[in-house]
Amino acid sequence: MREYEAELIQSLRELISKKSVKYDGADDYEPIPDKPFGDGIADALDCALRLCASMGMKTKNCDGYVGYAEVGEGDEMLAVLMHLDVVPEGNGWDYPAFGGEIHNGKLYGRGAVDDKGPAVAVIYALKSLMDEGFEFKKRVRLIFGTDEECDWEDMDYYVSHEEHPTIGFTPDADFPLIYGEMGVLQAEMVMYLSGDNDLFMEGGEAVNAVPDFCRIWKESTEDLLVEEKGVAAHASLPWEGENAISKAMRKLSDTCFEIDPEVESFVDFYNEKIGDFLHGEGLGCDFEDEPTGKLTFNAGTIKADSHSIRLGVDIRCPVTVPKEKLIETLQDSISEYGLELENIDWLKPVYSSVDSEFVQTLLGVYREKTGDDTEPMTMGGGTYARAMDNIVAFGPLFPGREATEHMKNEYILVDDLFAIMDVYREAIKRLAE
CB neighbours of 50 closer than 8 A, spacing ≥ 6?
none
In this model, does residue 151 exceed pLDDT 90?
no
Q: Tell me the average pLDDT across 387-403.
A: 94
Q: Would you state the pLDDT for residue 415?
A: 96
Q: Would you state the pLDDT for residue 393?
A: 96
Q: Would you state the pLDDT for residue 288?
A: 93
Q: Which amino acid belongs to residue 219?
A: E
Q: Do domains 2-182+350-432 and 183-347 have the same CATH topology?
A: no
Cα(150)–Cα(77) distance, integer angstroms: 27
Cα(333)–Cα(350) distance, integer angstroms: 27
Lowest mean pLDDT among 204-213, 327-336, 379-388: 379-388
Q: Would you state the pLDDT for residue 351?
A: 85
Cα(24)–Cα(41) distance, integer angstroms: 8
Beta strands per DSSP E along 84-124: 102-103, 106-108
CB neighbours of 221 closer than 8 A, spacing ≥ 6?
none
Cα(109)–Cα(409) distance, integer angstroms: 7
Q: Would you state the pLDDT for residue 229?
A: 96
Confidence label for 90 from pLDDT (cuts 50, 70 and 90): confident
Q: Taking the CA atoms of the chain, what radius of gyration do you get in angstroms?
A: 22
Q: Would you state the pLDDT for residue 2?
A: 79
What φ, ψ does residue 288 adopt, rounded to 5°?
Answer: -155, 160
pLDDT for 164-193, tens place per residue? 999 999 999 999 999 989 999 999 999 999
- Residue by residue, DSSP assigns 293-308 as EE-EEEEEEEEE-SSE
In this model, does residue 256 exceed pLDDT 80?
no
The CATH number, out of the four listed (3.40.50.300, 3.40.50.720, 3.40.50.10420, 3.30.70.360), of the domain defined by the range 183-347: 3.30.70.360
CB neighbours of 178 closer than 8 A, spacing ≥ 6?
376, 377, 378, 379, 381, 383, 385, 392, 393, 394
Structural contact between residues 35 and 161, judged by C-beta atoms closer than 8 angstroms:
no
Confidence label for 131 from pLDDT (cuts 50, 70 and 90): very high
Confidence label for 352 from pLDDT (cuts 50, 70 and 90): confident
Question: Which residue in the list 70, 115, 148, 212 is annotated as catalytic?
Answer: 148
Query: Of the spans 27-36, 44-53, 175-184, 230-239, which averages the highest pLDDT?
Result: 44-53
pLDDT for 153-168, tens place per residue? 999 999 999 999 999 9
Average pLDDT, the chain: 94
Give the helix, strand, coil percentages of the chain, each rounded to 5.
Answer: 30, 25, 40
In this model, does residue 268 exceed pLDDT 90?
yes
Residue 67's beta-bridge partner residues? Answer: 61, 144
- Residue by residue, DSSP assigns 375-432 as PPEEES---GGGTSTTEEE--EEPTT----TTSTT-EEEHHHHHHHHHHHHHHHHHHH
pLDDT for 407-425, tens place per residue? 899 999 999 999 999 999 9
CB neighbours of 390 closer than 8 A, spacing ≥ 6?
165, 166, 167, 168, 358
User: What residues does each domain of the chain span?
Assistant: 2-182+350-432, 183-347
Give yes or no: 148 in active site: yes
In this model, does residue 27 exceed pLDDT 90?
no
In this model, does residue 257 exceed pLDDT 80?
no
Q: Would you state the pLDDT for residue 140?
A: 98
What φ, ψ does residue 43 adopt, rounded to 5°?
Answer: -65, -40
pLDDT for 133-147, tens place per residue? 999 999 999 999 999
Going by their DSSP bridges, the two strands 58-62 and 66-71 should be labelled as antiparallel
Question: Which residue in the list 85, 149, 212, 422 is annotated as catalytic?
Answer: 85
What φ, ψ does residue 332 adopt, rounded to 5°?
Answer: -65, -40
Structural contact between residues 63 and 36, judged by C-beta atoms closer than 8 angstroms:
yes
Distances (CA, A) of 383 to 16, 115, 121, 335: 20, 11, 18, 32
Burial class (CB in 10 A: 0-12, 13-18, 19+), 406: buried
By C-alpha distance, which of 192, 182, 208, 105 is closest to 417?
105
Query: What architecture is domain 2-182+350-432?
Result: 3-Layer(aba) Sandwich (3.40)
Helical pair 414-432 and 357-370, crossing angle rounded to 10 deg: 140
What percent of the chain has pLDDT above 70? 100
DSSP 283: G
Q: Would you state the pLDDT for residue 370?
A: 96
In this model, does residue 290 exceed pLDDT 80?
yes
CB neighbours of 411 closer than 8 A, spacing ≥ 6?
106, 107, 108, 109, 112, 113, 404
Q: Tell me the average pLDDT across 344-361.
A: 90
Q: Would you state the pLDDT for residue 329?
A: 97
By C-alpha distance, which of 177, 175, 137 is closest to 356?
177
Q: Tell me the average pLDDT across 214-242.
A: 93
- Which helix (H) or strand (E) is 52 found in, with range? helix 39-54
What percent of the chain has pLDDT above 90? 82
Confidence label for 246 from pLDDT (cuts 50, 70 and 90): very high
